[in-house]
Amino acid sequence: MTTVDDVNKAFADKGMEITLPLEGGVVVTKIEVLERVKTPGRIKILLRVGFLNDEGREAQEIFLCEGSLKKERKPAAPVMEPPKKNLLPVRQRMDFDSCKGVLAYLQQAFSHLLEDKGYVPALREGADLYLEREGKGFFVNCAVRLDDAAFEQAKALVELRRSLRSRGAANDFALVVPAIQEPLGIPLRFQERWVARHQEYLSVQRVGVYGVNNQDPNKIYPFTVYPSAIELKRYFMITSQQWSLVRSRYVLERARREDD
């Protein structure tokens, strides 16, 4: 019988420093790779794992495993973003005319992504947006910038999740903001400090923080946890790799502007 320890050892033998989030002695009945993303020295794998639970019955879970990659036997495949059925128009500016315009942009971008993955808008109190698919809801709050007010909106989602009790685990929760907030008055280092300060708390509460590209509403980056739907996990696994490049380009362009 194959155990979690055996699987982890197999990963290590292939140079992947990743482990399944299960006890080492748990019997694994099957394992399926749903998605794999490689970058220099790192790997992310989305796995569907079958295993025997404490009652001896077979159960299944989907795990996102991430870790170092000691060796690569062949070059990593180029990162390709999952296609959307329809694309929203791209903007030519990083800034916005008003806070109202920011919020409208964020709501359109995130609802468009969810609808592309099969979610349907529905009426439900407690959040700025609510969509659902196959009985599972997605509650979304939008904020102009990551500040104290945004944290209050995130906490409201935490309280909403708690109020749903047993059904809370079946829902997803998101705080959506512009990816680059310096044009809106928040320096990039403060934005990243906000994420670092609240990341653990929000991740434990399963509240994701997502940044919408200021110019391209079709690109949304995950700053904390991923949603539960496999299609969204796949999408964010790829855009998370793109974010580091987008950030680096922005910082470089900012430095050039300051030198002029």
Residues 27 and 138 in one domain: no
Residues 146 and 209 in one domain: yes
Distance CA 242, CA 212 (A): 12
116 in Cβ contact with 84 (< 8 Å): yes
Final residue of a structural domain among 54, 69, 84: 69
Q: Is residue 78 part of a domain?
A: no
Burial (Cβ within 10 Å: 0-12, 13-18, ≥19) of residue 125: exposed
- pLDDT at position 124 is 87
- pLDDT at position 19 is 92
Distance CA 187, CA 180 (A): 9
pLDDT in tens, 101-151: 999 999 999 999 999 999 999 988 899 999 999 989 999 999 999 999 999
Residues 171 and 238 in one domain: yes
- pLDDT at position 27 is 87
Residues 65 and 125 in one domain: no
In angstroms, what CA-CA distances link 134 with 170, 180, 208?
A: 10, 33, 20
Q: Is residue 204 part of a domain?
A: yes
In angstroms, what CA-CA distances link 67 with 9, 36, 38, 58, 249?
A: 14, 12, 10, 27, 25
Residues 201 and 162 in one domain: yes
Q: How high is the mean pLDDT in each 10-residue block of the chain (260 residues)?
A: 85 89 88 86 90 86 89 51 75 95 98 96 92 94 98 96 74 97 94 95 93 97 92 92 90 79
Give all strands (DSSP E) within the chain, no chain letters. 16-17, 28-39, 42-52, 58-69, 120-121, 129-133, 136-142, 172-178, 207-212, 220-222
**If you write DSSP's letter for every residue of 59-83 in order, what string do you get?**
EEEEEEEEEEES--SSPPPPP-PPP
Residues 31 and 139 in one domain: no
Residues 35 and 145 in one domain: no
Decide: pTM greater than 0.85. Answer: no
User: How many domains is the chain partitioned into structurally?
Assistant: 2
Q: Is residue 80 part of a domain?
A: no
- pLDDT at position 167 is 60
Torsions phi, psi for 29 (to 5 deg): -95, -30
- pLDDT at position 169 is 60
